[in-house]
Amino acid sequence: MNLVHKPLAEQVIVVTGASSGIGLATARMAAERGARVVLVARDGEALARIRAEIEAAGGRALDVVADVGRRAEVQAVADRTIAEFGGFDTWVNVAGLTIYGYVWEVSDEDAARLLQTNLWGTMYGSLVAVEHLRRGGGALINIGSVASDLAFPLQGIYCASKHAVKGFTDALRMELLQVGAPVSVTLVKPTSIDTPLPQRARNYTDREPKLPPPVYPPEEVARAILHAAVHPQRDIFVGGGGKILTGLKEFAPGAYDLLAPAVTSLQRRDEAPRNPEGALHRPAGDGQAHGSHPGYVMRTSAYTRATLHPFATAGMVAAGVAMTAALMLAGGPRGNRRT
């Protein structure tokens, strides 16, 4: 089914995890482009500030405090949105957390909380959204990760959750196609993104966590999400680095496994942990789209731009992939630059 949705300026878009990182960048960008935005997260104070910021710039927003790991609260988001705006056109499941530590170190309680947010939160959001979208059409966009296709040390529980999100999203898409529902389902798979995710993580290690290079800005993911809200695509990788690693793993899985020591090292700063408890069980320092990555942050992803806009030149794509590969091998240039 080849679906094309309303222009962004005519849409109502629900964004979970809207208080920080990718969710916040997406909500801001959607509002700037004329969409009415529903902000969803656990941190009510952060959401109120973001709503005020959007409205001060001339946009329209509704903030709804909810824990996506509780289905009744997700349903309440949909009900509030329908009451306020008459419905919604796109639902984006962004809310997610991570844990740094070897899998045998992670407590059952912490693992369960992560899965409740990352997996059940995505499932609840998808099911509630589809119940509405099946009647009038629209887009469901789930945020997976390069970890939907890959596994890497120190974030095993996170990888498990994102593998599960991919399986659920793929099955839901097939079922909607089978019944002819006018709903597009897109899985967006970011690579390392400069958000507060590492600082908000539950950290079992003896070092402050960080992201392995190459690292991309959250606005690059937001552009991909909003593109899919109008022009659906099945899957979108954000960051050529993720596509390269996925290709390596598929071509030579044994060789990929041998990268474990290097990948572990690239996820650890040379400093003690700042906030080991993170935001796993309660909000902690929301309100920022960007993180504090100590290295270089790519301005864009030529690979992702090309997949969204197929008429991009092959030369631009090749140059972007070459630069990405060089950064992965070198560990990234010094300095930090953001869009």
Report d(CA 300, CA 215) in Å as an integer. 10
158 is catalytic: yes
Contact between 192 and 139 (Cβ < 8 Å): no
- Structural domain tally of the chain? 1
- Give the domain range for residue 134: 8-276+290-330
pLDDT along the chain (339 residues), means of 10: 88 97 98 98 96 98 98 98 98 98 98 98 98 97 95 96 98 98 98 95 97 94 97 93 80 88 94 94 86 90 83 47 50 44
Residue at 284 is within a domain: no
Q: What is the dihedral sign for C-alpha 182, 87, 167, 27?
A: positive
DSSP string computed for 212-239: PSSEE-HHHHHHHHHHHHHS--SEEEES
The reply to whether 12 falls in a domain is yes
pLDDT of residue 299: 85
Structure confidence at residue 301 (pLDDT): 83
Residue 63 lies in a domain: yes
Q: List the CATH number of the domain containing 261.
A: 3.40.50.720
The per-residue pLDDT for 7 is: 97
* The one catalytic residue among 158, 216, 256, 303: 158
User: Which pLDDT value is given to residue 309?
Assistant: 78
Kindly state whether residue 1 falls inside one of the protein's structural domains.
no
Q: 281 in a domain, yes or no?
A: no
Say if 338 falls within a structural domain. Answer: no
Residue 285, in any domain of the structure: no
Q: Assess if residue 135 is contained within a domain.
A: yes
CA separation for the pair 185, 228 (Å, rounded): 9
- Whole-prediction pTM: 0.90
Question: What are the pLDDT digits (tens) for 183-193?
Answer: 999 999 999 99
Pairing between strand 36-41 and 60-65?
A: parallel
